[in-house]
Amino acid sequence: MSSFAQELSNDFKEIESKVIEWRRYFHQNPELSNREFNTAKKIAKHLKSLGIKTQENVAKTGVVGILEGSKPGKVVALRADIDALPVIERNDLPFKSTVKSTYLGKEVGVMHACGHDTHTAILMGVAEILSKHKDQIKGTVKFIFQPAEEGAPEGEEGGAELMVKEGVLKNPNVDAIFGLHIASGFDVGTISYKSGGIMAASQTFKINVKGKQSHGSRPWASIDPIMISAKIIDGLQTIISREVDLTNEGAVITVGKIDSGVRSNIIPESAEMIGTIRTLDYGMQEQINDRMKEMVPAIAKSYRAEASIEIEKGYPITFNDIDLTKQVLPTLQKVAGTKNVHEIKAITGAEDFSFFQKEVPGFYFFLGGKTVGNTNPYPHHTPDFIIDESGMLLGVKTMTQLTFDFLNN
């Protein structure tokens, strides 16, 4: 082992406890999208303590660090998302979240129910190690701590799209970007990846149904928006089951919220639904969008109601650059071991890391966060979501080595 490799090995051993400590702090003190004020302060303080040039208030609450190596060269960006979710934590951890906030006008619990706390802590660890060895870096590293990956509050801009708009990939111009996501369903010690499209495009839709109010005992005098909403939901699922070619790519339409009515004995006048569309092919996305816009008002009209639908542009497909994937695969195998690096099929989750990938070549991978032997891991975005912290060190090692190998080779 070379002296530099030995130094890195020692650094990794020393940094693990710090990364876990940071992660627990963020987990206990989560903040919602575009409101990550204290999270950003802690990140910025850390970067400044390392002598890294630090930019704050990027895309509202984002933090960007710039580390220049000893020699000129390419520019690589490393990204971590920093926001939490409106979820009440059910875990009995000593550092569980008891934070409350407001979301869509309602009081909610706040929890890092998707692992962004681990991403933030990992990248802080990578920054510390790379700053110690900038004499070994040929080029420049940008550390991008991104807010609002889960989506900006209604009426606000945010996330990766706003960061790109504000020029985060410029001055200096980024040549490639790397990102990771902890995965509660993949074993600790493993890395999972896919060349090309790895995560779906995501769109949010809103449907408003206008009917006619009546006493609940006289449904014949009403035009029932709740019943009509049920028919619309049923109809939307036939687009997936009967109209799109699922042998091409997967697709999903989900209604996640329906709001209507105030009393058991009143048939209300209106109903509102919101949901998500997930696609892995832009042609299929266009087909689904068109059919939803046709179907929703037509179903409502058949029951004497009116309905409108709005579909947001959403997130693009998370697409791993083909050439970059080939280039970095040996690094993944070197760090994790060939048997621990797995190529997977695309998943219908979505990531706004895709906005960075639309501008520059990018590579995004999953880091195992499930205790080996656990046969029933809790999914992301749930109150019981939990990860094994022993998997975080591999994230630090991988992002560090990806940086050295991309810039120096």
Q: Where are the beta strands (DSSP E) in 9-149?
A: 53-58, 62-68, 71-81, 100-103, 106-109, 138-146
Distance CA 40, CA 60 (A): 10
Q: Name the catalytic one among 36, 161, 315, 378.
A: 315
Catalytic residue among 36, 150, 249, 389, which? 389
Q: Which residue has the tokens 């802690």?
A: 42
DSSP secondary structure, 161-211, as one string: HHHHHTTTTTTTTPSEEEEEEEEEEEETT-EEE-SEEEE-EEEEEEEEEE-
Distance between CA 141 and CA 298 in Å, rounded?
53
The type of residue at 43 is I
Amino acid 151 reads G
- Which residue is associated with the tokens 């779906």? 200
Could you confirm whether 25 is annotated as catalytic? Answer: no
Question: Do 298 and 310 meet the contact criterion of CB atoms below 8 Å apart?
Answer: no
21 in catalytic set: no
Please, what sign has the CA dihedral across residues 348, 199, 150, 22?
Answer: positive
- Which residue, chain included where needed, has tokens 């499209």? 197
Burial of 62 (0-12, 13-18, 19+ CB in 10 A): buried
For helices 3-28 and 116-132, what crossing angle results, to 10°?
A: 150
Q: Which pair of structure tokens corresponds to residue 151? A: 């989506």
Question: Residue 394 to residues 215, 239, 325: CA-CA distances in angstroms?
Answer: 61, 41, 18
Crossing angle of helices 37-49 and 116-132, in 10° steps, is 10
Distance CA 258, CA 273 (A): 4
Neighbours of 206 (CB within 10 A): 14
Active site residues: 315, 389
